């Protein structure tokens, strides 16, 4: 008779289903399939799909590649709280490497609006969280994985990269910068 | 092996004495975990409230770790063990299988819970609930979790054994009740969950002891979430079972269709587990095909199941109320519901909050591309406070009001507070969940000590609205903590000092369940449920609008490919 007792009808699976209940199930099924299709549709027609291109790497190898880009394309040096950061402006289309480590993002890139770059992300110690603000693009950053994402900035300005994966006591000081001109 | 059976004079339920004691044990262990977790919640909320910023960073991260583990694991799983025992031994009116093993397992769970808490409060295991490698906790942090899980696993097997006992000793006729079916679903998911936990936590323990050199961070996240997310799916199965149970207890509601509700549970068993992918959508190294299929529970079949339960639970209540004559208009059945009965009001607020706040936000952030908007922001805890606090915890708290007289045989003290509590706690948690999601939409990070980035060389300034919403999180979070604390006091006072109620008859043999012969009434076509359908359509409209608003937001971002 009720949900805490065995079904009153022994052959409960032959009981007819209420018409309104059926209607709702049909609506819910259509909506479920629509949401499923939406993700696939966006892969074909949308402009914001997270790339899955990933390579195994080592901390040393990734640091060396980053250093090479910094050595080649540094345009000036910025200082923040007595720390010096190279400001790097690589040409459009190039591979740019960003290191997440305790507790900064290194280096600072200066990119051009409307141009596409191949951003490589990796961490040197713990996991970190790449959170580009105020855009609000959030990506998990792992040590020993080189994650390659094609990015095309669509507005000029100064952006911050907040770390949003807990990485120890200085986590809240881990904020980087990125310029788009 | 002899046990005794008590017939509760207030509910008519029959309790095996061992089972009854175990249920009380787990309910108390759960509420004590809730107490520790709740005090920690206050520390978390008062630190994240920008104007207060109570704790220093190291204490904050320790307190946050304890809050997550005590709430998400210990409180909920202890209580769920009581639910499993209730749904088997009590509802099927049979003896509990292997009571001695059940006691050993329960103490093992307590030992594990204490061990992990000790590790956390020693201060060197502030690795958060998720304990992502390569950040390392002390070995007893992992060992405590493993012991707790082993104990819980054994009780899952005792639950299954009790189903076998009931069948063999013919204590019921026909199929198991729907609520027991829901508990069986929770049990099957729990076994999967604990297996996943063992696969990742045992190597991690060995790593913390130095026997394994390295654990891959991506592999850890993939396997850990097979436990971490699935453990929250146990909650869904369990609290949906409690919704059905409370509807049955308060209204005598009969499921609209056994077939539909059981099929929906079966969809949970088949598909809910895939959702561990929700946490990996913004990770490198996993293919989009894998992400899309898993994050959608293979075409959203588990969402379909939840949408079915979300309709059939209020639908069953509407039918029961209409049969009682509350037939005027669309909503008289709902207006005339016992809003002063805390078991009902807690259950109904749990249902609405879980669907509107937890469900819609969960599906939105579980869409592969949309996840990038909120990954690791405070939107995520906003979502799961709607599911786990409003959905699960509030349903458990509502059920506890029923358990005080029935299981603890005491009269509830301060009944006036009981009337108020579901609204005070439930609605303040509604606001907390909403403003956390609001702040997360603006990008504010979760697990973050200081949104002003004190000491950072290049601080970022969040918009004023983000500060406003974090302030509101603080205010309503404190209201929720205090009202929850008063609830704990009320329950503890009632079971220690409340007026003793009549025990009921003690027998040495169980009385099997006899069903009344099907009355002519059950063949009458049950009343239609237009009110519930209207509520469901309001829900669907909100769902569709919110879902597409977020795609619009995503389309404004930088090109990514």
Tell me: the pLDDT tens digits for A20-55? 899 999 999 999 999 999 999 999 999 999 999 999
Q: If DSSP codes are grouped into helix, strand and coil, which group holds residue B344?
A: helix
Task: Give Cβ neighbours of residue B209 (< 8 Å, ≥ 6 apart).
Answer: B139
Residues 129-158 of A with CB under 8 A from B: 129, 131-140, 142-147, 149-154
Task: Tell me the C-alpha distance between B73 and B507, whole Å.
Answer: 36
Q: In the numeric block, which tokens belong to residue B231?
A: 């453990």
**DSSP calls for B495-537:** HHHSPB-----EESSPPPP-PPPPPGGGGSPPPP-HHHHHHHH
Half-sphere exposure (Cβ direction) of B276: Cα atoms closer than 13 Å: 23
- B528 and A20 within 8 Å at the Cβ level: the answer is yes
The pLDDT tens digits for A128-159 are: 999 999 999 999 999 999 999 999 999 999 99
Q: In the numeric block, which tokens belong to residue B352?
A: 């609405």
Task: Give Cβ neighbours of residue A157 (< 8 Å, ≥ 6 apart).
Answer: A179, A180
Q: Which of B510, B508, B557, B440 is nearest to B166 (CA)?
A: B510
Q: In the numeric block, which tokens belong to residue B261?
A: 């509700």
| pLDDT of B512 | 79
Is residue B518 pLDDT above 70, yes or no? Answer: no
A11 touches chain B (CB under 8 A): no
Q: What are phi and psi of B443, to 5 degrees?
A: 105, -5
Q: Which residue has the tokens 């540094």?
A: A74
Task: Tell me the C-alpha distance between B111 and B108, whole Å.
Answer: 5
Is residue B356 pLDDT above 50, yes or no? Answer: yes
Residues 39-58 of A with CB under 8 A from B: 39-40, 42-43, 46-52, 54
- B248 and A2 within 8 Å at the Cβ level: the answer is yes
Task: Tell me the C-alpha distance between B444 and B49, whole Å.
Answer: 13
Other beta carbons within 10 angstroms of residue B330's beta carbon come to: 14
A21-24: Cβ within 8 A, 24+ apart: A21/B256, A21/B257, A21/B260, A21/B311, A21/B312, A21/B315, A21/B529, A23/B533, A24/B307, A24/B308, A24/B311, A24/B533, A24/B536
- A134 and B544 within 8 Å at the Cβ level: the answer is no
Provide the shortest C-alpha distance from residue A72 to chain B (in Å). 24
Higher model confidence: residue A111 or residue A7? Answer: A111
| pLDDT of B561 | 86
Q: What share of chain B has pLDDT > 90, as a percent?
A: 91
The pLDDT tens digits for B27-68 are: 999 999 999 999 999 999 999 999 999 999 999 999 999 999
Residues of B in contact with A52 (CB under 8 A): 284-288
Q: If DSSP codes are grouped into helix, strand and coil, which group holds residue B337?
A: coil
Element (H, E) at B229: helix B217-251
Element (H, E) at B363: helix B360-365
Compare all CA atoms of chain B with the CA of A50 and give the residue at the minimum distance: B561
Half-sphere exposure (Cβ direction) of B256: Cα atoms closer than 13 Å: 31
Is residue A160 pLDDT above 90, yes or no? Answer: yes
The pLDDT tens digits for B90-124 are: 999 999 999 999 999 999 999 999 999 999 999 99
B464 touches chain A (CB under 8 A): no
B68 touches chain A (CB under 8 A): no
Half-sphere exposure (Cβ direction) of B464: Cα atoms closer than 13 Å: 0
Provide the shortest C-alpha distance from residue B287 to chain A (in Å). 6
CA distances from B35 to B41, B73, B234, B368, B410 (A): 10, 13, 21, 36, 21
B529 touches chain A (CB under 8 A): yes
Burial of B28 (0-12, 13-18, 19+ CB in 10 A): middle
Residues 390-419 of B with CB under 8 A from A: none
Is residue B519 pLDDT above 60, yes or no? Answer: no
**DSSP calls for B275-306:** GGGGGGTT-SSS-HHHHHHHHTHHHHHHHHHH
Task: Tell me the C-alpha distance between A43 and A50, whole Å.
Answer: 9
- A3 and B247 within 8 Å at the Cβ level: the answer is yes
Provide the shortest C-alpha distance from residue A45 to chain B (in Å). 11
| pLDDT of B472 | 97
Task: Tell me the C-alpha distance between B85 and B83, whole Å.
Answer: 5
CA distances from B412 to B2, B162, B407 (A): 32, 30, 12
Q: In the numeric block, which tokens belong to residue B315?
A: 């639908």
Higher model confidence: residue B36 or residue A12? Answer: B36
Provide the terminal-to-terminal Cα distance of chain B, rounded to the nearest Å.
66
Burial of A82 (0-12, 13-18, 19+ CB in 10 A): exposed
| pLDDT of B524 | 64
Angle at B474 between CA B472 and CA B479, to 5 degrees: 95
- A18 and B308 within 8 Å at the Cβ level: the answer is no
Candidates B134, B315, B458; nearest CB to A21 = B315
Compare all CA atoms of chain B with the CA of A126 and give the residue at the minimum distance: B134
The pLDDT tens digits for B406-418 are: 999 999 999 999 9
Compare all CA atoms of chain B with the CA of A54 and give the residue at the minimum distance: B285
Task: Tell me the C-alpha distance between B136 and A45, whole Å.
Answer: 42
Q: What are phi and psi of B512, to 5 degrees?
A: -65, 160
Mean pLDDT value across residues B329-354: 96
Q: If DSSP codes are grouped into helix, strand and coil, which group holds residue B179?
A: helix
Q: Is residue A146 a contact partner of residue A62, using CB atoms and an 8 Å limit?
A: yes
Q: pLDDT band for position B520 (50/70/90)?
A: very low
* CB environment B379-395: b (16+ within 10 A), e (fewer): bbbbbbbbbbbbbbbbb
Angle at B183 between CA B179 and CA B185, to 5 degrees: 115
Other beta carbons within 10 angstroms of residue A71's beta carbon come to: 10
Q: Which of A111, A97, A106 is nearest to A147 (CA)?
A: A97
Residues of B in contact with A21 (CB under 8 A): 256-257, 260, 311-312, 315, 529
Provide the shortest C-alpha distance from residue B554 to chain A (in Å). 7
Is residue B521 pLDDT above 50, yes or no? Answer: no
| pLDDT of A10 | 84
| pLDDT of A115 | 97
Candidates A27, A43, A83; nearest CB to B540 = A27
Residues 114-133 of B with CB under 8 A from A: 128, 132
- The region that residue B453 occupies, defined by phi over 0 for left and psi between -120 and 50 for alpha, beta otherwise, is left
- B376 and A140 within 8 Å at the Cβ level: the answer is yes
Mean pLDDT value across residues A119-124: 98
Q: Is residue A112 a contact partner of residue A180, using CB atoms and an 8 Å limit?
A: yes
Provide the shortest C-alpha distance from residue B108 to chain A (in Å). 30
Q: Picking from A19-23, B181-185, B399-403, which range would have the lowest pLDDT averaged per residue?
A: A19-23
Task: Tell me the C-alpha distance between B362 and B432, whole Å.
Answer: 16
* CB environment B269-303: b (16+ within 10 A), e (fewer): bebbbbbbbbbbbbbbbbebeebbbbbbbebbbbb
Query: CA gyration radius for chain B?
Result: 23
Task: Tell me the C-alpha distance between B234 and B78, whole Å.
Answer: 12
Other beta carbons within 10 angstroms of residue B315's beta carbon come to: 30
Q: In the numeric block, which tokens belong to residue B394?
A: 């509030």
Burial of B129 (0-12, 13-18, 19+ CB in 10 A): middle
Is residue B511 pLDDT above 90, yes or no? Answer: no
Q: pTM score, two decimals?
A: 0.95
| pLDDT of B517 | 55
Q: Is residue B26 a contact partner of residue B85, using CB atoms and an 8 Å limit?
A: yes
């Amino acid at each position: 008779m009720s949900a805490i007792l065995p079904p009153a009808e022994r052959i409960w699976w032959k009981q007819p289903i209420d018409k309104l209940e059926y209607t709702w199930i049909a609506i819910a099924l259509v909506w479920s399939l629509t949401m499923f299709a939406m993700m696939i549709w966006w892969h074909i027609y949308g402009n914001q799909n997270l790339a899955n291109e990933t390579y195994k790497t080592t901390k040393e190898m990734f640091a060396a590649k980053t250093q090479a880009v910094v050595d080649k394309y540094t345009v000036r040096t910025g200082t923040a709280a007595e720390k010096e950061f190279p400001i790097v402006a690589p040409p459009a289309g190039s591979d740019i490497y960003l290191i997440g480590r305790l507790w900064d993002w290194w280096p600072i890139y200066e990119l051009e609006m409307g141009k596409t770059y191949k951003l490589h992300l990796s961490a040197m110690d713990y996991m970190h969280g790449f959170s580009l603000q105020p855009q609000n693009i959030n990506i998990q950053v792992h040590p020993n994985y080189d994650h390659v994402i094609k990015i095309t900035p669509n507005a000029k300005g100064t952006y911050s990269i907040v770390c949003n994966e807990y990485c120890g006591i200085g986590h809240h000081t881990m904020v980087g910068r990125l310029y788009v001109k | 092996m002899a046990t005794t059976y008590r017939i509760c004079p207030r509910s008519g339920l029959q309790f095996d004495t061992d089972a009854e004691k175990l249920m009380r044990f787990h309910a108390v262990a759960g509420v004590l975990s809730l107490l520790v977790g709740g005090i920690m919640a206050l520390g978390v909320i008062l630190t994240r409230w920008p104007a207060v910023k109570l704790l220093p960073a190291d204490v904050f991260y320790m307190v946050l770790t304890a809050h997550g583990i005590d709430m998400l694991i210990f409180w909920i799983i202890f209580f769920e063990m009581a639910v499993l025992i209730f749904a088997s031994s009590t509802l099927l009116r049979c003896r509990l299988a292997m009571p001695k093993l059940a006691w050993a397992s329960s103490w093992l769970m307590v030992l594990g819970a204490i061990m992990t808490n000790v590790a956390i409060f020693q201060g060197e295991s502030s690795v958060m609930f998720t304990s992502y490698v390569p950040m390392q906790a002390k070995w007893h942090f992992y060992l405590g979790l493993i012991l707790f899980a082993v104990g819980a696993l054994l009780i899952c097997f005792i639950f299954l054994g009790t189903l076998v006992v009931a069948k063999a000793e013919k204590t019921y006729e026909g199929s198991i009740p729907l609520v027991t079916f829901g508990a069986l679903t929770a049990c099957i998911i729990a076994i999967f969950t604990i297996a996943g936990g063992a696969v990742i936590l045992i190597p991690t323990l060995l790593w913390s002891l130095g026997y394994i050199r390295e654990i891959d961070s991506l592999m850890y996240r993939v396997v850990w979430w097979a436990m971490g997310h699935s453990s929250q799916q146990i909650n869904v199965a369990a609290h949906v079972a409690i919704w059905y149970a409370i509807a049955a207890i308060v209204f005598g509601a009969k499921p609209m269709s056994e077939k539909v509700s059981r099929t929906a549970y079966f969809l949970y068993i088949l598909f809910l587990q895939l959702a561990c992918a929700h946490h990996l959508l913004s990770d490198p190294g996993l293919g989009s095909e894998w992400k899309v299929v898993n994050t959608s529970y293979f075409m959203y079949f588990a969402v379909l199941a939840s949408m079915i339960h979300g309709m059939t639970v209020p639908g069953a209540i509407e039918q029961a109320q209409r049969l009682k004559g509350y037939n005027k208009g669309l909503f008289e059945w709902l207006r005339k519901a016992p809003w002063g009965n805390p078991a009902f009001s807690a259950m109904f607020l749990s249902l609405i909050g879980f669907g509107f706040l937890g469900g819609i936000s969960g599906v939105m952030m579980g869409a592969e591309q949309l996840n990038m908007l909120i990954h690791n922001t405070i939107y995520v805890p906003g979502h799961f406070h709607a599911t786990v606090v409003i959905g699960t915890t509030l349903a458990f708290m509502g059920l506890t009001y029923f358990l005080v007289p029935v299981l603890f045989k005491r009269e509830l003290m301060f009944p006036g507070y009981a009337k108020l509590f579901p609204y005070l706690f439930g609605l303040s948690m509604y606001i907390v969940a909403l403003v956390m999601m609001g702040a997360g939409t603006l990008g504010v990070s979760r697990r973050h000590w200081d949104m002003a980035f004190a000491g950072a060389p290049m601080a970022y300034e969040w918009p004023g609205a983000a500060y406003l919403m974090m302030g509101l999180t603080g205010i309503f979070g404190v209201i929720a903590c205090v009202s929850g604390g008063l609830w704990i006091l009320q329950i503890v006072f009632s079971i220690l000092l409340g007026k003793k109620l009549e025990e009921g008859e003690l027998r040495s043999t169980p009385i099997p369940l006899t069903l009344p012969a099907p009355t002519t009434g059950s063949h009458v076509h049950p009343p239609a449920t237009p009110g519930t359908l209207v509520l469901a359509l309001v829900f669907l409209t909100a769902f569709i609008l919110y879902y597409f608003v977020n795609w619009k937001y995503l389309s404004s971002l930088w090109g990514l490919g």
